[in-house]
Structure 1
Amino acid sequence: MSYLFPNYQRKKLEFIKGSKNMLTDHNGKNYLDFTSGIGVMNLGYNDPDLNQVLADQTILLWHTPNLYQNHLQEQVAQKLAKGKDYVGYFCNSGAEANEAAIKLARKATGKRKIITFTNSFHGRTYGAMSATGQESIHAGFEPLVPDFIYLPFNQIEPLKEELDQDTAAVMLELIQGEGGVIPADEQWIQDVQSLCREFGALLIIDEIQTGIGRTGAFYAYEHYQIEPDIFTLAKGLGNGIPVGAMLGKSNLGDAFGQGSHGSTFGGNKLAMSVANKVIDRINQSAFLEDVQNKSEQLFSGLDQLAKRSSLIQAVRGKGLMIGIQLFDQNSLNQVSEQLEAEGLLTLKAGQTVLRLLPPLTITNEEMAKGLTILEKVLNKEKEHD
């Protein structure tokens, strides 16, 4: 008997320790991690700098409520703004960050309708779940928060028909992660921003999985020559320490005045000390250029593998956020299990996509090893042709 709710489909596997880009299970077996804990461990495991920062802060102070000044919150918010006109709010998770964004958009505009997109994923709290465009996520929890509209991703005509003066916001991921690693088209994103400005709707970008260097830019929106009104962060921001953030244009500040929103633990000193160091490490041109170079190496290898494998339909993504589209769900399940048996951890996305999210600190040698394992598993059928 387990004393836990069965809401997670857990593997019969427990990891006991991690070092750099490797994990070790309870039997002592080592695994190359191409999941980063679902896009969290961007700097890998057991990083000495982050360990030291956290240890130093534990000696000073773990927690004070947001009734008092917090210089670490100010530092992190300033760094996340990157010299632009943004102010920040801190919480504990991506879902909470998206809840804050939804509340801010409705309060700031005085409107209720929010447009999101099919196959999106924004979290599992009620507001974030209602923003998520997947019926399987909604099942059994209706009625949802009202006035969310779901439209086809990467299609501008449906958006032109729906977006109007009553729209508070358009909310989207620049790469739909859980939905199958589907990148947004650059022209479509720019058209979305133009329509939002035309009708006075806010543009909310969910950067929870794409942010903090994952795509080779510190924020994925920087690839698209846009500037959102609101964007949200979590996952890689704390490298395993629970933290979320919402940033919005400073002119939205009046809508989030005293008493409008809050979190007991949000922005606590442990999380902020680590986030502060994570930003310093990742938001460097040399580091981000290295991510782009690694991305080119990984995509090149995967594109060559796709030509040889009868299982692969397409390879897509950006930076070190990659989806391998397989032909059917059975193949995905079998491939995932075989890769794990070979010592490579991967993720699933949608029904038929193998998702790769290696740490940004992955080495060229480790990527070559991962590609060798992927070749062994994904090219098996060719051996019998």
Structure 2
Amino acid sequence: MSHVFPTYNRLGIELVSGQGTKVQDQHGKSYLDFISGIAVCNLGHVPTVVKEAVEEQLGKLWHVSNLFPITKQEEVATLLASATGLDAVFFCNSGAEANEAAIKLARKHTGKSKILTFKQSFHGRTFATMSATGQEKIHSGFGPLLETFEYLPFNDETALSHIVEKDTAAIMVEVIQGEGGVNPGTLTFLKAVEEKCRELGALLIIDEVQTGIGRTGKPFAYQHFDLDPDIVTAAKGLGSGFPVGAMIGKKELIPSFSPGTHGSTFGGNPLAMAAAKATVETIFDGSFEKEVQQKSTYFINKLKKELQEYPIVQEVKGIGFMIGILFDQEVNDIIYELRQNGLLTLPAGTHVIRLLPPLTVTNDELDQAVKIVANTVKELQAASVS
């Protein structure tokens, strides 16, 4: 028997090596990896620039307490502040921890307790972030949740307009719901969320754990919508596979996170910061971002063109390299067939296949992926008709 808790439905293959977009399993079979560790390996597998930075730090120092100054924290914080226009960063180890920090900070700073989130959202699996998540399947079996969260319909301005409670500390939103189905927010809805925050005297928290660090062709996805968040959370792609998360906030929030109010033993340690610095210096470059925008537009348009003739495909959606293909059926069998054909993908809900290639993917690899998807869908469409 395995001595690991079965909290994941493991696939039948183990990935043992990789470079860039390609990975190999224990049998030597090669795949195009369009999961990227769930939007983590934004620079591909084992990127040289990150590997060299971590190797250099390995020879110096691995870990010290946050009781000591850590120069690389200041350097990475400066990069994140510059990219967002915000002012201060708290470092942790994951997206859930970053969202936990945001929830704590919003409640402490405002003196209020209620936080609004949205149905089909996903913010993590700790108790507070599970409570913030608007999906019943995440809540099931854990008893009473924290009572200070309320879930509104996503992309529904009318429902939002009915909220009048002044005891609202924050509204927490993903500009593109990831786990919930790759659902982009509309400009009018997201602007209405921002306006409602100002009306209620609440903070606007944008969860960029999956959408941030260049995934959509900008440093953060909210920048496509010209939003002005009070807090932004990030993780996943921030460390190229090293566990690192960050909560970024405005300067007026700084006094509310004074010494002793929050902490993280491993958050922002020198190894994680070495990986994060090399990652964001590469991705937060104008030419890199422009290339991501060009390649992702090419990919989405080609997917739409190649899949438009198949009725089982209902929509290709997303922004940048956060892409969903909506089917008229559950997608687990389709994902299995794609894997058999050499392309790794994952679901977003029951009817959406999520594509999250490394941002460094080549046009040739994108063409290969489109061919695999189109051929697989063609076979499934034929089987459904016969």
- Report if TM-score (shorter chain) is over 0.5: yes
Q: Give 1:300 deviation, angstroms.
A: 1.0
Amino acid corresponding to residue 367 of structure 1 in structure 2: L
Partner of 2:335: 336
Q: Deviations over 1:83-135 (max 9, x none)?
A: 62420000000000000000000000000000000000000000110000001
Question: Which consecutive aligned stretches of 4+ in structure 1 deviate over 3 angstroms post-superposition?
Answer: 381-385
What are the superposed Cα offsets for residues 33-58 of structure 1, whole Å, 9 maximum, x if unpaired?
11111000000012111111100001
Deviations 1:266-314 (A, max 9, x none): 0000000110111110001110111111111111111112312222011
Please state how far the C-alpha of 1:163 moved relative to its aligned partner.
Answer: 4.2
Aligned match of 1:214: 215
Confirm or deny: 8 A CA contact 1:306 1:314 kept in the other structure: no
Question: Any idea what SS the aligned residue of 1:380 has?
Answer: helix
- Residue identity matched to 1:110: G
Separation of aligned partners in 2, 1:103 and 1:382: 49
TM-score between the two structures when normalised by the length of structure 1: 0.98
Residue correspondence of structure 1 range 148-159 to structure 2 within 5 A: 148-159=149-160
Matches of 2:181 and 2:164, distance apart in 1: 25
Measured in 1, the distance between the counterparts of 2:249 and 2:78 equals 12
Distance 1:51 1:216 in 2: 23
Kept in 1, the 8 Å contact 2:312–2:381? The answer is no
Within the alignment, does 1:377 sit opposite 2:370 as a pair?
no
Check the 8 A contact 1:115/1:170 in 2, yes or no: yes
Aligned to 1:8: 8
Q: 2: CA distance between counterparts of 1:85 and 1:50?
A: 25
- Aligned to 1:82, the other structure's residue is in SS state helix
Partner residue of 1:351? Answer: 350
How many aligned positions are there? 383
C-alpha displacement at 1:164, in angstroms? 2.7
> Is residue 226 of structure 1 aligned with residue 255 of structure 2?
no
Inter-partner Cα distance in structure 2 for 1:251 and 1:111: 16
Q: Distance in 2 between matches of 1:169 and 1:95?
A: 17
Structure 1: runs of 5+ lacking an equivalent: none
Q: Is 2:202 aligned against 1:201?
A: yes
Q: Secondary structure at the match of 1:325?
A: strand
Q: Which runs of 5+ in 2 are unaligned?
A: none
Asked if the contact 2:35–2:355 (Cα under 8 Å) also holds between the matched residues in 1, the reply is yes
Query: Which residue number in structure 1 is paired with residue 56 of structure 2?
Result: 56
More deviation, 42-51/104-113: 42-51
Q: Distance in 2 between matches of 1:192 and 1:3?
A: 45
Counterpart check, 1:365 vs 2:364: yes
Offset, 1:227: 1.4
Distance 1:65 1:2 in 2: 34
CA distance in 1, matches of 2:50, 2:186: 36
2:59 is paired with a residue whose SS is: helix
Matched ranges for 1:105-144 at <5 A: 105-144=106-145
Q: Amino acid of the residue matched to residue 286 of structure 2?
A: S
Q: Which letter maps to 1:60?
A: K
Alpha-carbon distance between aligned partners in 2 of 1:102 and 1:142, rounded to the nearest angstrom? 21
Distance in 2, matches of 1:327 and 1:305, equals 17
For 1:17-32, list aligned pairs within 5 A.
Answer: 17-32=17-32
Instruction: Determine the C-alpha separation between the residues in 1 that align with 2:58 and 2:17.
Output: 21
- Structure 2 match to 1:91: 92
CA–CA separation in structure 1 for the residues paired with 2:30 and 2:238: 26
Retained in 2: the 8 A contact 1:208–1:233?
yes
Q: Which amino acid aligns with 2:233?
A: T
Hey, what's the Cα distance between the residues in 2 that align with 1:305 and 1:6? 38
Question: Deviation of residue 162 (structure 1)?
Answer: 2.0
Equivalent position amino acid for 1:73 in 2:
Q
> What is the distance in 1 between the residues matched to 2:76 and 2:143?
37
**How far did residue 382 of structure 1 move?**
4.9
Query: Secondary structure of the equivalent of 1:308?
Result: coil
SS at match of 1:205: strand
Shift of 1:161: 1.4
Matching residue's letter, 2:32: L
Contact 2:307–2:374 under 8 Å retained in 1: no
Aligned alpha-carbon RMSD (Å)? 1.1
1:383 offset after TM fit, Å? 4.7
State the percentage of identical aligned residues.
Answer: 50
Task: Provide the rounded CA distance (Å) in 2 between the counterparts of 1:137 and 1:70.
Answer: 36
Q: Deviations over 1:327-364 (max 9, x none)?
A: 011xx111101000011000100110000000000000
